[in-house]
Amino acid sequence: MKKKLTLAILLAATATAALAGPIEENIRWRQSAYSFAAWNVQKIKSQVVDHPDTYNKDSVTAAANAIAAVANSGLGALYTEGSDQGIGWKQTRLKPEFFLKKDEVTKLANTFNEAANELAKVAATGDVNLIKTQFGKVGESCKACHDLIRIKE
Amino acid sequence: MKVTIHIWDLPHRLFHWLLAASVIAAYVTATIGGELIDWHGRLGIFILGLLVFRIVWGFIGSTHSRFSTFFPTFSRLSAYLKGQWHGIGHNPLGALSVIALLAAVAVQVGTGLFANDDIAFEGPLFDFVDKSVSNQLTSLHSTTFYVLLALVVLHLIAIIFYRWVKKTNLVAPMLTGKKEVPVALAATHYQGKGFGVIRFILSLIISSTVMWGVSSGASQLYSAQSPQQTVPANSSF
Residues 73-132 (B) with a CB less than 8 A from some CB of A: 117-120, 132
Query: Using one digit for the tens of pLDDT, what is the confidence trace for A91-107?
Result: 999 999 999 999 999 99
Query: Using one digit for the tens of pLDDT, what is the confidence trace for A41-66?
Result: 999 999 999 889 999 999 999 999 99
Q: Is A140 on the interface with B (CB under 8 A)?
A: yes
Count how many pairs of residues, chain A against chain B, have C-beta atoms within 8 Å.
62
Residue B204's pLDDT is 97
CB contact under 8 A, B233 and A43: yes
Q: Which has the closest alpha carbon to B211: B73, B41, B87, B36? A: B41
CB contact under 8 A, A51 and B139: no
Domain range summary for chain A, segments of one domain joined by +: 22-149
Judge whether residue B157 has pLDDT over 90: yes
- What does each of the 153 residues of chain A score in pLDDT, given as a tens digit? 788 888 888 877 776 666 778 999 999 999 999 999 999 999 999 999 988 999 999 999 999 999 999 999 999 999 999 999 999 999 999 999 999 999 999 999 999 999 999 999 999 999 999 999 999 999 999 999 999 999 987
Name the burial class of residue A102, with classes exposed (0-12), middle (13-18) and buried (19+) by CB atoms within 10 angstroms of its CB: exposed
Q: Where are the beta strands (DSSP E) in B95-230?
A: 178-182
- The CATH H-level (homologous superfamily) assignment of domain A22-149 is Cytochrome c/b562 (1.20.120.10)
Residues B40 and B145: their CA atoms lie apart, in Å, by 14
Q: Please count the residues of chain A.
A: 153
Q: Is this model's pTM higher than 0.95 or not?
A: no
Catalogue all structural domains in chain B, each as residue range(s) with its CATH number: 2-225 (1.20.950)
Judge whether residue B179 has pLDDT over 60: yes
CB contact under 8 A, A140 and B230: no
CB contact under 8 A, A139 and B37: yes
Residue numbers in B near A41 (CB within 8 A): 119-120
